[in-house]
Structure 1
């Protein structure tokens, strides 16, 4: 036996193998670190700007840490001049309301597509996939006309109703339910359980990773949505965070970017905290459902 192994390029020693592995890992981690810095740079700049005085924000000199800490003034000004907590509460009500109805609708639909045999099942799944291709802007006009005729503009319901049916949720949960053992479902049927009882008492408790993953997608999408609330909401008291930030920028601050970034930090913090809490479930849900 020898410590040398032959390859097309000649003998490779254990030292060369370790060195090659080290270089590969260094390159991979270097790319990941560069990507992380690229993604985090806007958030870091937002935080830094929120604690700078106006003179340093518009200064030609670039510095990460301010020479004069101005965070207290910026955050107090933002909280005093705009109802940021009300905007955050509106966003919370909006996200929870949409998510609740989405789960109530999508879970039974996904279970039916994954575990029930009925005529047209594959055709319905094709329609679900096609629904993923339709942006919210397509049905915006008829939805707005219908809500206006019903007198439902400037309500929480008007902001929620276009998103109650989520084809992405149906697709995601179907992928998860397909891996659920049929033997457990058949045993539950033999015990006399109905299909709805099987869905909510047996299948759904095992789907928490998928539910957490979709909850993150849904919360991020609707917390940051500006397009639809801008159409149906004109009352600042009902504005979700993005629309509230627009009202705040137009009415109060002008070029006060320190206060603007302070307000943006306050309204972004709940979303970041929620993701950090659910990150493990989110990763499990993505890997277990096979969504890339």
Structure 2
């Protein structure tokens, strides 16, 4: 009886999980299916997952010819990699100080970090825009990168991970004559690779998919990031080209999927805060 009940509970859990997966993946499956269809089959009333006439070459070639999609992808790489590198450069020393150093006001400073987590980026968009306007750095890579150099989420995540690192390891490094900055980069950094990978996935996905801030900060198409670049497929006179648009969206999402699959094991380790074994 207990075995039968356990089987039913397991089947129910897996059924709920599979239903949730289907709901999440359904839009992506429809996006890919649409990217394979000609316009005549996109607007038919019936639901048809596989097209009668494949339009793969036409849609994906138009995705790169109707708009400078390669340039948008390059901009996305430049912006996301620069943001992540600078965030790690700031977050690691800050997290180490909050986790392992003893100084007056440390807990209050950490409470301030937690408070900053509650502030949505949209709330400071207008002050940032005015500041960058006065500095003259709007419509540039700097306008896309500078606002996100300090990541309070990154500091919080790294701090929680560093709390799992034994103090004996740091004491041994100090006895060897290493400075605090040397400890951060030569001792703490190698141990924090799982947490950095987990944070990297969050950071890259957030800034690769960011549409709100680039829309405000940019005017020139040469700096467009991938999400902002998809508006190039919208034409008020001829209408939206959904086939190339869905092909472009598929190309834009593909690097994120590949990056997550490659870093999946480290991502799970970082979230679980396994630390040193």
For this structure pair, what is the TM-score category when the shorter chain's length is used for normalisation? over 0.9
Question: Which residue number in structure 2 is paired with residue 224 of structure 1?
Answer: 209
Deviation at 1:248, TM superposition (A): 3.1
The question of 1:22 aligning with 2:7 is answered yes
Deviation at 1:253, TM superposition (A): 6.8
Measure the CA separation in 1 of the matches of 2:119 and 2:91. 17
Question: Which residue number in structure 2 is paired with residue 203 of structure 1?
Answer: 188
Which SS does the other structure have where 1:192 is aligned? coil
Question: Which residue number in structure 1 is paired with residue 34 of structure 2?
Answer: 49
Measure the CA separation in 2 of the matches of 1:262 and 1:168. 33
Among 257, 260, 267, the alignment partner of 1:282 is 267
Question: Which residue number in structure 2 is paired with residue 125 of structure 1?
Answer: 110
Measure the CA separation in 2 of the matches of 1:180 and 1:234. 46
The question of 1:182 aligning with 2:167 is answered yes
Q: Which moved more, 1:189-198 or 1:281-290?
A: 281-290
State how 1:263-282 maps to structure 2 within 5 Å.
Answer: 263-282=248-267
Question: Which residue number in structure 1 is paired with residue 224 of structure 2?
Answer: 239
The question of 1:135 aligning with 2:120 is answered yes
The question of 1:115 aligning with 2:100 is answered yes
Among 251, 254, 259, the alignment partner of 2:244 is 259
Q: Assess if the C-alpha contact under 8 Å between 1:99 and 1:215 holds in 2.
A: yes
Query: What value does the CA root-mean-square deviation take over the aligned residues?
Result: 1.5
Q: Assess if the C-alpha contact under 8 Å between 1:172 and 1:289 holds in 2.
A: no
Measure the CA separation in 1 of the matches of 2:274 and 2:214. 31
Question: Which deviations, in whole Å up to 9, do the C-alpha atoms of 1:53-90 show, x marking residues without a partner?
Answer: 11111111111111111111111111111111110110
Which stretches of structure 1, 4 residues or longer, exceed 6 Å deviation after superposition?
none
- Runs of 5+ consecutive residues of structure 1 not aligned to the other structure: 1-15
Q: Assess if the C-alpha contact under 8 Å between 1:53 and 1:68 holds in 2.
A: yes
- Runs of 5+ consecutive residues of structure 2 not aligned to the other structure: none
TM-score (norm 1): 0.91
Measure the CA separation in 1 of the matches of 2:43 and 2:72. 28
Q: Matched residue pairs, number? A: 275
Question: Which residue number in structure 1 is paired with residue 88 of structure 2?
Answer: 103
Measure the CA separation in 2 of the matches of 1:154 and 1:258. 30
Deviation at 1:289, TM superposition (A): 6.9
Q: Please say which structure displays the higher CA radius of gyration.
A: 1
Among 23, 35, 45, the alignment partner of 1:38 is 23
State how 1:81-100 maps to structure 2 within 5 Å.
Answer: 81-100=66-85
Measure the CA separation in 2 of the matches of 1:126 and 1:270. 36
